[in-house]
Amino acid sequence: MLNGYGSTILDGAWLTLSLALTSMALAIVLGLIGAAFRLSPIKWLALLGETYATVIRGIPDLVLILLIFYGGQDVVNRVAPLLGFEDYIDLDPFVTGVFTMGFIFGAYLSETFRGAFMAIPKGQSEAGAAYGMTGTQVFFRVLVPQMIRFAIPGFTNNWLVLVKATALVSTVSLQDMMFKAKNAADATHQPFTFYLVVAALYLAITSVSLLLLRALEKRYSVGMKVAEL
Amino acid sequence: MIFDFAPIWENIHLYLGGILITLKLLAISLAVGLAAAIPLGLMRVSRQPLVNGAAWLYTYVIRGTPMLVQLFLIYYGLAQFSAVRESVLWPLLSDATFCACLAFAINTSAYSAEILAGSLKAIPHGEIEAAKAMGMSRAKLYRRILLPSALRRALPQYSNEVIMMLHTTSLASIVTLVDITGAAKTINSQFYLAFEAYITAGAIYLCLTFVLVRLFKLAERRWLAYLAPRKA
């Protein structure tokens, strides 16, 4: 199928998916930390979280990817000799990709999570405190489970943007499906065919994600009253 | 010192030229995209399944696929067909600036159409009923009541879309244009100063983002004043 390039592109699709899922896991952790910082009463922590969210969201993903892939590699190899490493250090493209995407989307998720935490009625955390829970216990037992319901719509959006943004790593030679399609297009002189196939694969991933996350939203909204118009 | 910003300063004109290109791409794609988004947005609120469905399919496909794929389909993909290569449009379709603007405009038209449809649906029923009670025709209703109200209410969300588009224009550097990102690429390939080159580009985008945010705040104060919370 596709002049024998079908299976290569599917390999690439697998890399796209694993990159997106791993980055999202990292982004969730960073987003929770970012949101906790921004809601913290300690001023410098709040400022740190605010700066992270504002600066990362103010710079294009592509520039951040180029900055971390090439600039990061560059700086690592300028600093390493000062610390006594003589060999040229090559950063692993997949790991660098995960860190880059996780770092970028952590900032977007911190915004989503912050809004979701603020949507929880204040009485909830007060009730937790009244039961004698510590701050950490209130956070993980009372706030996080309720926050998920408010965060799902924003999260869905962030996930879709993340999946689509992974196409950009093909420009720094990570062999995702976009990269494989580019190779196939160059070799066969059929760019339209191959980019169309990749577009269809992305559309399939985003469509399935939408269905799954909508089901999840329903699950987390069980027991919530919906106002009838 | 491990950082060397001197070559950046000496070539700052490259970045300045890049800013102009970025702003040009942004302005053209936003103008064309918004012009296409208005009819698409109206189609999305139509009660006729065929009209609504066609616009839905368009926005769904565009919003479900990466911008980079759309850009490559237009810039590299269309050349696959000899009918395109021999047509009168070929000089345009082989031009990177035209293809980038076209791809960006198509992309933003889909997102803006959904924003506009959302804000059309959010218009209070009373406004529409009042207009009908005044005996306005459908066309007049849209021209005088629905569109002005919907476009204003869409401002806060549209400002996000404009900032996303500013960031999207950086993809133009992949199809050989020398926008801000392209300038950074040029400097990196000349001096091997990847970090300095890209951090400068990042700082410029950050400043442009702040300026846009500020401008939209002013626009909201001007056109959405009647929705602002009452000052104490």
Nearest chain B residue to A57 by CA: give it.
B206
Q: Which residues contact A189 (CB under 8 A, 6 or more apart)?
A: B80
With a cut of 70, say whether residue B232 has pLDDT above it.
no
Number of H helices, E strands in chain B: 13, 0
Does B192 touch chain A if contact means CB atoms closer than 8 Å? yes
Residue A92's pLDDT band (cuts 50, 70, 90):
confident
Residue A226: predicted pLDDT: 67
- Measured between beta carbons, the chain A residues lying within 8 angstroms of B183 are none
Domain with B182, as residue range(s), is 6-227
Sign of the CA dihedral running A211, A213, A214, A215: positive
- The answer to whether A72 contacts chain B (CB < 8 Å) is yes
* pLDDT score of B202 more than 80: yes
- Measured CA to CA, the distance from residue A154 to residue A162 in angstroms comes to 12
A-B contacts at Cβ under 8 angstroms: 121
| CB within 8 Å: A61 and B167 | yes
Burial B56-70 (b: 16+ CB within 10 A, else e): bebbbebbbbbbbbb
Residues of chain A with Cβ-Cβ distance to B73 below 8 Å are 191-192, 195-196, 199
Shortest CA distance to A53 belongs to which of A35, A77, A73, A68? A35
pLDDT given at position B31: 97
Tell me the average pLDDT of chain B.
Answer: 92
**Arithmetic mean of pLDDT, A151-171:** 93
User: Residues B169-176: what's their mean pLDDT?
Assistant: 94
Q: B64 in a domain, yes or no?
A: yes
- Find chain A residues with C-beta within 8 A of B69's C-beta: 167, 178, 195, 198-199, 202
Residue B63 to residue A29: CA distance in whole angstroms? 27
Mind telling me how many Å the CA of B79 is from chain A's nearest CA?
A: 8
The runs of H, that is alpha helices, within A39-143 are 43-57, 61-66, 72-79, 93-118, 122-130, 135-137
Average pLDDT over residues B11-34: 96
Q: What is the mean pLDDT of residues A61-65?
A: 95
Q: Is A189 at the interface with chain B, CB within 8 A?
A: yes
CATH topology of domain A17-171: MetI-like fold (1.10.3720)
- Answer yes or no: is B232 within a domain: no
User: What is the pLDDT confidence band of residue A73, given thresholds at 50, 70 and 90?
Assistant: confident
DSSP secondary structure code for residue A224 in this structure: P
B64 — contact with chain A (CB < 8 Å)?
A: yes
- Contact state of A199 with B73 under an 8 Å Cβ cutoff: yes
Question: Any idea which residue has 């269809």 for tokens?
Answer: A200
Helices (H) and strands (E) in chain A — how many of each? 10, 0
The answer as to whether B154 is a domain residue is: yes
For residue A125, which of A39, A9, A16 has the smallest C-alpha distance? A39
Report which of residues A51 and A226 the model is more confident about. A51
Q: Is residue B1 part of a domain?
A: no
- A70 membership: H or E segment, kind and range: none
CA dihedral defined by A126, A128, A133, A136, rounded to 10 degrees? Answer: -80
Contacts of A228 (CB under 8 A, 6+ apart): none
* CATH code, domain carrying B45: 1.10.3720.10
Chain B residue closest in CA terms to A163: B66
Residue B163, in any domain of the structure: yes
In this complex, the residue of B64, B73, B198 whose CB is nearest that of residue A67 is B198
Average pLDDT over residues B71-95: 90
3-state helix, strand, coil in chain A (%, to 5): 85, 0, 15
The reply to whether residue A167 touches residue B69, judged by beta carbons under 8 angstroms, is yes
CA distance B129 to B131: 5
| Structural domain includes residue B71 | yes
Partner residue facing A168 (CB), from B65, B68, B70: B68
Question: How close B134 comes to chain A (CA, Å)?
Answer: 26
**Given CB atoms, is A66 within the 8 Å cutoff of chain B?**
yes
Contacts of A75 in chain B (CB under 8 A): 2, 195
In a domain, B159, yes or no: yes
Residue indicated by tokens 């390039």: A5
**Across the interface, do B202 and A191 touch by the CB < 8 Å criterion?**
no
Task: Report whether pLDDT(A228) > 60.
Answer: no
Could you give phi then psi for residue A223, rounded to 5 degrees?
90, -5
Q: Do B193 and A74 count as a contact with CB atoms less than 8 A apart?
A: yes
What pLDDT score was predicted for residue A208?
96
**How far is A81 from chain B, CA to nearest CA, in Å?**
11
CB A49 within 8 A of CB A34: yes
Number of independent structural domains in chain B: 1
Contacts by residues B44-49 (CB-CB < 8 Å, ≥ 24 positions apart): B44/B113, B44/B114, B44/B116, B44/B117, B45/B117, B45/B120, B45/B121
Which of residues 158 through 187 in chain B touch A, CB cutoff 8 A? 166-168, 170-171, 173-174, 181, 184-185
